[in-house]
Amino acid sequence: MPASVGVPRETEPGERRVALVPAMAAKLLAAGLNVIMERGAGFPSMYPDAEYEGVRLEQHARAVWQADIVLKVQPPSLPEVRLLRE
């Protein structure tokens, strides 16, 4: 089973960046990784969901936090850390 990369929405007030832009998502997919992203995660950075072709979009963050690797701009909050798998 290929490794998975998760990208949640940033929750820090005022943070508009996203940890994974569409071009890099395409490279990860081409390398055989599964990419899971929370719906709307790229919107504050002007990347609509439609630009993340091939990425599995999830309505709820829980699935994203269960990925093998989680990418974020800001450190995860305590509630987010609790969503990480063991």
Taking the C-alpha atoms of residue 68 and residue 15, their distance in angstroms, rounded to an integer, is 24
CA 36 to chain CA mean position, Å: 6
Taking the C-alpha atoms of residue 27 and residue 11, their distance in angstroms, rounded to an integer, is 25
Q: Look up the CATH superfamily of 4-81.
A: NAD(P)-binding Rossmann-like Domain (3.40.50.720)
Task: Going residue by residue through the chain, which has 86 residues, state the pLDDT in tens, using 9 for 90 and above.
Answer: 799 999 999 999 999 999 999 999 999 999 999 999 999 999 999 999 999 999 999 999 999 999 999 999 999 999 999 999 98
Residue ranges covered by each domain of the chain: 4-81
**Helix, strand, coil percentages for the chain (3-state, nearest 5):** 30, 15, 55
**Token pair for residue 80?**
């987010």
Report yes or no on whether pTM surpasses 0.85: yes
